[in-house]
Structure 1
């Protein structure tokens, strides 16, 4: 087994990975909020049901986009900070078979 070090991370590469992961989490959260708003809306009057439907659809659309953008930005920031710290600390040690 050889020991290798990760000395540098591609900034845009990590940004894309984080963006995709956070987007998936946003989709899951949006689906849960959508289901809850539809359930609560169905317990209300017709206007409440329509409001719950609109809020649920909005959550499914906006949360993955919002989370994806935030994930992309946080991935870029994380990669920048990692690259600076790895320059001093020597990188992250991994073992490959």
Structure 2
């Protein structure tokens, strides 16, 4: 068994930030489509001018998710490092890949 003693705070923050930023792109697309459809329904509705809001969601949501992911990735690594120092790290079992002999 191998033990993960410590997680790099900057590394975890980058990975979480980029992961949630990419997720934010997909969620932003969903919001953009929804608001654009609502905007096309008609003029008399309260949300009929929300087409521009859908485009803004394509920009705002990925940035927001990326920043939140960066912050929580860093916090998660700090908490993990504290707990791992006090109580021991996460145990993982690693194995060598199966090498097929060349014919």
SS at structure 2 position matched to 1:96: coil
Which structure would you say has the larger Rg? 2
2:10 corresponding residue in structure 1: 12
Cα drift, residue 53 of structure 1: 2.1
Q: Which structure's relative contact order is higher, taking Cα pairs within 8 Å and 6+ residues apart?
A: 1
Query: Structure 2 CA distance, aligned partners of 1:57 and 1:44?
Result: 18
Where does structure 2 lack aligned partners over 5 or more consecutive residues? 96-103
CA RMSD across the alignment:
1.5
CA displacement 1:1-56 (0-9 Å, x = unmatched): xx1000100000000000011111211111111111111111122992xx322101
Secondary structure of 1:22's match?
A: helix
Counterpart residue number, 1:83: 81
- Paired residues in the alignment total 93
The structure with the greater share of residues assigned to helix is 1
Regions of 4+ moved over 4 Å:
none
- Match among 37, 40, 57 for residue 38 of structure 2: 40
Q: What is the TM-score when the length of structure 2 is the normalising length?
A: 0.85
